[in-house]
């Protein structure tokens, strides 16, 4: 396991200014297995100062130099794959296979995509006598969550470095081990001192201080909408750029004429993966009312295939949720769904049989869900699916858009033209048709209260660039 007593600032591992620690809890046992040093405003000041000192020189590096560092980072990341898998499984409760094939894999995929995007990125363009230049924005504060930790770390750090920015990262204090291992990989890559800095801590003591720091030029935040509002409000005092990827309550519309056995099963699996802890999970399944009975049978069978248990055990496909607070929130929302009239199809409150210890949640499906119910409106962030019936495609589109969120949406149909037409009417940043392969070059981000800005590959790079016009560059 990495050293949890120090931060990474200015190319060195250094203790916090004021010693303070919190426990890192294994969600499968509910027991602390490590302590983590957490920072304060003084540590943020040190990290931001290091990034500010490093920025002028790093901003002038060439594309080829930055490609070299990113490729070296990818090599160092791959060398630590087994350690990253073990860390994520322990701190998040992810099954080992999922930690390896999804959580760690996706960080690698984003690094590879950023390298490819940087190879072809246009930083300079001439329009008549004017030269348009894309320049690094400066010092970037990066605040990342616990649910897909490496995904979010890499989709912020890699594009920022590709653009010539320097960064201060605050990973989630709930799942920090993978971030410390990532910092070791950054150090091994040979990046100049001060380009990458890491300070652990909670939101108020570190994250909010970073957002409001006068020497930070941009903030990239992923987390809850509630926390995002605090970050944006704090950052507004110094008029810095803020990009955010926030909550979601994604709709999954199964259109008439679909292969229901396939579409519904895939929809259930998309919700249950990662113990339901994905911001873009399709947690509202919208189906034609005349097919509701068929859908409930398929959905129940699909949910029952998930094996909940010890994330270290072979064959486990769903581990615990990440914390007691998360467990209690999910239980409360399942109860509220039943109280408001939803029909329990499978699962329900309480732990699965034989799992008395650990934050394990039963894969749960609720039917007869209406728009006004809390389970149809609030982000549950657990393995809970709400099934809603519609009478027409127009009503399905209206139901899908009837949310404060707009991160993602899903559409299934045997008629691709019909699916495309529906996609064009949905207010969401990503619309997936018939469960396609994941695309690391597709822009990722949300409408409405799901945030602003986009991540992934060249779209992510745009968030860390300023646009300068040099008028008269070529003369008359």
| pTM of the shown model | 0.97
Can you give the CATH number for the domain in which 273 is found?
A: 3.40.309.10
Residue from 91, 173, 245, 455 carrying the catalytic annotation: 245
- Rounded distance between C-alpha atoms, residue 206 and residue 243, angstroms: 18
Q: How confident is the model over 241-291, as pLDDT tens digits?
A: 999 999 999 999 999 989 999 999 999 999 999 999 999 999 999 999 999
**Judgement on whether residues 255 and 242 belong to the same structural domain of the protein:** no
Q: For residue 475, what pLDDT band results from cuts at 50, 70 and 90?
A: confident
230 and 291 assigned to the same domain? no
| CATH classification of the domain holding 104 | 3.40.605.10
Q: What is the pLDDT of residues 360-403, one digit of tens each?
A: 999 999 999 999 999 999 999 999 999 999 999 999 999 999 99
Q: What is the pLDDT of residues 445-457, one digit of tens each?
A: 999 999 999 999 9
Structurally, the chain folds into a number of domains equal to 2
Q: Which long-range contacts (CB under 8 A, 24 or more apart) does 67-71 make?
A: 67/115, 67/118, 67/119, 69/161, 69/189, 69/190, 69/191, 70/111, 70/114, 70/115, 70/118, 70/158, 70/161, 70/162, 70/189, 71/115
pLDDT at res. 476: 66
Mark whether 343 and 199 lie in a shared domain.
no
Q: What is the mean pLDDT of the chain?
A: 97
Q: What is the pLDDT of residue 188?
A: 98
Residues 163 and 239 in one domain: yes
Instruction: Name 19's Cβ contacts closer than 8 Å, sequence gap at least 6.
Output: 37
One domain for residues 95 and 239: yes
Q: Does 475 fall in a domain?
A: no
Residues 204 and 309 in one domain: no
* Domain match, 421 and 274 both: yes
One domain, residues 323 and 211: no
Contact 445, 245 (CB under 8 A): yes
Query: Residue 380: which H helix or E strand, with range?
Result: none
In a domain, 152, yes or no: yes
Structural domain contains residue 119: yes
Model confidence pLDDT, tens digit, residues 94-147 = 999 999 999 999 999 999 999 999 999 999 999 999 999 999 999 999 999 999
Is residue 420 in some structural domain?
A: yes
281: in domain: yes
pLDDT of 1 > 90? The answer is: no
User: How far is it, in rounded angstroms, from Cα 432 to Cα 32?
Assistant: 39
Does 324 share its domain with 463? no
How confident is the model at residue 347, as a pLDDT?
Answer: 98
What is residue 36's predicted lDDT score, i.e. its pLDDT?
Answer: 98
Those residues with Cβ within 8 angstroms of residue 125's Cβ, 6 or more apart along the chain or in another chain: 131, 132
The encoded tokens of residue 447 equal: 């409408």
pLDDT tens digit sequence for 187-243: 999 999 999 999 999 999 999 999 999 999 999 999 999 999 999 999 999 999 999
Share of the chain above pLDDT 90, in %: 99
Starting at the edge strand found earlier in the chain, the sheet holding 196-198 runs 12-14, 7-9, 196-198, 166-170, 139-143, 218-222, 241-245, 451-452
- Look at residue 1 and tell me if it is in a domain: no
Contacts of 421 (CB under 8 A, 6+ apart): none
d(CA 126, CA 148): 39
State whether 193 and 97 are in the same domain: yes
Answer yes or no: 279 catalytic: yes
153 lies in some domain: yes
CB 250 within 8 A of CB 409: yes
HEC string for 163-231: HCCEEEEECCCCCCHHHHHHHHHHHHHCCCCCCEEECCCCHHHHHHHHHHCCCCCEEEEECCHHHHHHH
Q: Does some domain include residue 2?
A: no
Among candidate residues 91, 173, 279, 455, the one labeled active-site is 279
Q: 274 and 210: one domain?
A: no
What range defines the domain where residue 224 resides? 7-246+450-470
Tell me: do 166 and 204 sit in the same domain.
Answer: yes
Is 163 a catalytic site residue? no
Look at the block and give the residue holding tokens 């890192």: 24
């Amino acid at each position: 396991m990495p050293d949890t007593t120090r931060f990474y600032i200015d190319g060195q591992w250094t203790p916090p200014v004021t010693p303070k620690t919190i426990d890192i809890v294994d969600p499968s046992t509910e027991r602390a297995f490590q302590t983590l040093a957490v920072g304060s405003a003084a540590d943020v000041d040190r990290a931001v100062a290091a990034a500010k000192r490093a920025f002028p020189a790093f901003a002038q590096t060439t594309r080829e130099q930055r490609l070299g560092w990113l490729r070296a980072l990818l090599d160092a990341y791959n060398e630590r794959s087994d350690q990253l898998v073990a860390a994520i499984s322990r701190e998040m409760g992810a099954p080992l296979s999922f930690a390896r094939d999804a959580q760690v894999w996706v960080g690698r995929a984003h690094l590879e995509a950023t390298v490819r995007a940087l190879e072809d990125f246009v930083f300079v363009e001439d329009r008549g006598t004017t030269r348009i230049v894309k320049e690094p924005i400066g010092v970037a504060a990066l605040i990342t969550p616990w649910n897909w930790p490496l995904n979010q770390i890499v989709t912020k750090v890699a594009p920022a470095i590709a653009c010539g920015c320097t960064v201060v990262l605050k990973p989630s204090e709930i799942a920090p081990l993978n971030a410390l291992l990532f910092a070791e990989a950054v150090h091994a890559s040979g990046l100049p001192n001060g380009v990458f800095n890491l300070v652990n801590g909670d939101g108020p003591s570190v994250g909010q201080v970073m957002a409001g720091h006068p020497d930070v030029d941009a903030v990239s935040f992923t987390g809850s909408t509630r926390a995002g509002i605090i970050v944006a409000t704090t950052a507004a005092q110094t008029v810095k750029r803020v990009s955010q990827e926030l909550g979601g309550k994604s709709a999954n519309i199964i259109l008439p004429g679909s292969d229901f056995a396939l579409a519904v099963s895939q929809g259930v699996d998309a919700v249950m993966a990662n113990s339901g802890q994905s911001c873009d999970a399709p947690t509202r399944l919208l189906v034609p009312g005349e097919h509701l009975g068929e859908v409930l049978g398929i959905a129940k069978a699909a949910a029952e295939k998930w094996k909940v248990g010890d994330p270290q055990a072979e064959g486990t496909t769903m581990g615990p949720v990440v914390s007691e607070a998360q467990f209690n929130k999910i239980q409360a929302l399942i109860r509220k769904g039943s109280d408001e009239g939803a029909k329990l199809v499978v699962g329900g409150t309480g732990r699965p049989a034989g799992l008395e210890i650990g934050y394990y949640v039963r894969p749960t499906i609720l039917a007869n869900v209406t728009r006004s119910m809390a389970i149809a409106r609030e982000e549950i962030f657990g393995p809970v699916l709400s099934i809603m019936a519609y009478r027409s495609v127009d009503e399905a589109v209206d139901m899908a858009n009837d949310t404060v969120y707009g991160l993602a949406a899903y559409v299934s149909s045997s008629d691709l033209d019909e699916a495309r037409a529906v996609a064009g009417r949905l207010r969401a940043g990503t619309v997936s048709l018939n469960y396609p392969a994941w695309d690391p070059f597709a822009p990722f981000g949300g409408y409405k209260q799901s945030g602003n800005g986009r991540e992934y590959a060249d779209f992510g790079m745009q968030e860390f660039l300023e646009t300068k016009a040099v008028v008269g560059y070529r003369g008359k």
